[in-house]
Amino acid sequence: MERVNLMRKESKELEFKESFSNSFLKTVSAFANERTGKIIFGIADNGDITGIEQPEELRLRIENSINDNIQPAPKFELQTQKIDNKEIVVLVVYQGVEPPYFYKGQSYRRNDTSSVAVDRSQLKRWIMEADNIQFDRQLVNQHDFEFSILESALKTELKIESVNEDTLKTMGLMQGDQYTKAGELFADKNNISVGIDSVRFGRNISEFLKRKTLVKISLLEQYHQMLAFFDEFYYEYEEVSGFSRVKRVMIPREAFREALANAIVHKDYLIHANIKISLWEDYIEIISPGGLPKGITEEQFQKGRISILRNEVIASVFQRLNIIETFATGIKRIKDAYLEYPEEPKFEVYENCIIVKLPRINYHRKEVSDLRTDEIIKFLEGQPRTSLEIQEKLKLGKTKVNEHLAMLQNLGKIEKIGKARGTKYRLLKYELDDEN
């Protein structure tokens, strides 16, 4: 164990105990369940060092308490250290490989600086992860499901004449003579009482123009009904621009379609909550229950690198039906749908949900943006330029110039050369050829 580099403030990974009490065992359970952490005895809640008079006796007491009360037994280390001429006892509890870890029949997790009891869905998730079982592969007892919606989709996309047990087994919707949870979710009607809850708002959150709640029906039906709901409010229209009538979109349908499919595929179905879709005049917000799958960082998610699927069977069916493409491309496809516009979709990741916000297109901003982009291309025709040179030439700020440059790179019109302060942007040769 390394020596404590003491930050005198509690956190998710650090807890102080001025003296011994069995309440520390809740935190032992929490650290073993989710994250390696330290409990330091001899420090008050406010960070004042009070010290331990008989540290060796306390270490033995801590060890016996953990061994007698935490099931299964977690891995931990104990050490006595001296700070400001006072002795403290440092307990390191390592994240375990067999969660859930129980104390008195209850399992805990960290919530900021406290340890709280977990709910039934989290307990089930840990048990399934330990047994390497995904939710959508679990078996159900019902035997009278019908699949006319799925059958129609398979006929259209894969030219399959009819859906039988062999088809369902191949797709992971049956195992032996039982349906899986995925099978239940794709059945025409089922007993799963959470699905999608959508509201079209007016001027404020109190003004409901229309509401649609979709539960106990096939995921495919939920998907298609929500696309129809979107089309009611965010349709194509025509607008006079200069001397021409041009077609406009309010919100790119492909972005919404992809975000909706991703919310259905990646939802944590152990959380008893609906996917919530709020439709506003200026944007759409999609909230999908469940944070990132275990093993995926927020940075990987933001870059569209989701290689670990929470619901492999559901994702596989959506892919077979050409609703989604190859796995891990959803975020990129949502961003790509906005490439030609100045607005950008936003993604927010929280512990228990993921939020996608799709803004409405402001075509006045787009026209201004296109003009500035054309000016950058013109400026790069002579020679490669730095970002600073472009800022000075166009009288634009650093952030806005970087946005234009990123868009031009994504469109394959320019490339970055050099490194660090020597970085320049060069117009690609075929772009110059197109001008001639």
CB 347 within 8 A of CB 301: yes
Residues 334 and 421 in one domain: no
**How far is residue 58 from each of residues 54, 87, 241, measured CA to CA in Å?**
6, 11, 79
Return the pLDDT at 238.
79
Residue 168 CB partners (closer than 8 Å, separation 6+) = 147, 174, 179, 183
Q: Which residue has the tokens 């936003």?
A: 346
Q: Which of these three, 361, 379, 414, is where a domain ends?
A: 361
Residue 69 lies in a domain: yes
Strand ranges of the sheet holding 14-17, from the earlier edge strand across to the other edge: 14-17, 37-41, 86-93, 76-83
CB 154 within 8 A of CB 160: yes
Residues 331 and 391 in one domain: no
Residue 162 lies in a domain: no
* Residue 117 DSSP code: E
Residues 102 and 248 in one domain: no
Q: What is the pLDDT of residues 383-418, one digit of tens each?
A: 999 999 999 988 888 877 887 888 788 778 899 998
Residues 259 and 307 in one domain: yes
The list of the chain residues with pLDDT below 70 reads 1-8, 130-132, 241-243, 305-307, 326-328, 364-370, 429-436
Residue 151 lies in a domain: no
Longest dimension (CA), the chain: 88
Return the pLDDT at 91.
97
Q: Which residue has the tokens 């060092």?
A: 49
Return the pLDDT at 436.
40
SS3 at position 57? helix
Residues 352 and 222 in one domain: yes
Return the pLDDT at 131.
60
Q: What is the CATH number of the domain that holds 47?
A: 3.30.950.30
Q: Which of these three, 361, 388, 403, is where a domain ends?
A: 361
Q: What is the pLDDT of residues 187-206, one digit of tens each?
A: 999 999 999 999 999 988 88
Residue 69 CB partners (closer than 8 Å, separation 6+) = 22, 25, 103, 104
Return the pLDDT at 282.
93
Q: What is the CATH number of the domain that holds 241?
A: 3.30.565.60
Give the CA dihedral 58, 61, 63, 64, nearest 10 degrees. Answer: 170
The domain in which residue 278 lies consists of: 196-361
Return d(Cα 199, Cα 7) in angstroms, integer.
46
Residue 332 lies in a domain: yes
Residues 24 and 124 in one domain: yes
Q: Which of these three, 88, 106, 130, is where a domain ends?
A: 130
Q: What is the CATH number of the domain that holds 393?
A: 1.10.10.10
Could you tell me if residue 222 is left (phi over 0), alpha (psi between -120 and 50 degrees) or otherwise beta?
Answer: alpha
Residues 355 and 371 in one domain: no
Return the pLDDT at 435.
42
Return d(Cα 338, Cα 358) in angstroms, integer.
9
Residues 307 and 430 in one domain: no
CB 262 within 8 A of CB 330: yes
